[in-house]
Each structure stands twice: as C-alpha cells, then as structure tokens.
Amino acid sequence: MRKDPTMHSAQNWLRDAENWLDARGKAAWIAATVLGFIVFWPIGLALLAYMIMRKPMCGRTKKHRFKSRFSSTGNHAFDSYREETLKRLEDEQTAFTSFLDRLRQAKDQAEFDQFMNERRTGTDAPRQDTPYGGTPNPA
C-alpha cells in the first residue's frame, strides 16, 4: 500500500508552517489565528484549538521550568551548593527590600518634617486676607 504523495507534501507544509511560526514566537501564532478568522472562520477556529491543546506555543511551560530549576541533579555537593546560594540570594533580596522600605519611610518622614517646619514658621502658610493664599482681590 503506497502513500499518497499529495498527503505527504501537505504534512511537510504544515510541519514547516508550524516550525516557522514557532521561530517567530507567540505573536506570530496569534496573528495567524486572527488572519485565519478573517479569511475563513473555521481556519481560525482550528488554529485556536491547536494553540490551546498544544499549550507551550514557544518554549517550555512555567511548570516545567520550575520543576527543572529545583530538581536534583544527582550530584549532592552541587545540589547543596545551589540550595545555599539560593538561600543566600533570597536573604539578600529580603534585606534589600527591607532597606528600601526603611529608605522610603525616612524620605516620607523628612518630607513631613519639612512641611511641618514650614507651616510652623509661616513660610508656606496661606495669608488670612485671601481664601487660598494668593494676592488679595483689588475689588
């Protein structure tokens, strides 16, 4: 039983098209789907279904990246070194975030203190003869 040569070329064309879209990323898949809907809605629907069923349109899924990041390599020394390094980096990130929070609080406190000092000395206080501190109305 021989295969139909037209079917083989259609499979090659579809595989080539898929590889071409993968090389251009998610935006290319979305553009192809939109064009499919514009040209003939079943084409767009088929591309949309294919994208949903295929999930990782380009690259790996988040779950796969997360698993490979923390899975054991089989080398105990390296795994412990990696865990210590990740722990140290997380501690540094926490310390830096804390530092930024303290810096923001100090800046806010300095601005508030400056405002209160200006208000006490009257340099920024509104004048009493005008409603908003501007020049009095000539009328």
Q: Tell me: the pLDDT tens digits for 97-107?
A: 999 999 999 99
Whether 66 is covered by a domain: the verdict is no
Assess whether 2 and 42 both reside in one domain: yes
| Number of domains present in the structure of the chain | 2
Whether 76 is covered by a domain: the verdict is no
Tell me the CB-side half-sphere exposure of residue 101, using CA atoms within 13 A: 6
Whether 116 is covered by a domain: the verdict is yes
Percentage with pLDDT > 70 across the chain: 71
pLDDT tier, 85 (very low <50, low <70, confident <90, very high otherwise) = very high
Structural domain range at position 108: 81-122
Whether 24 is covered by a domain: the verdict is yes
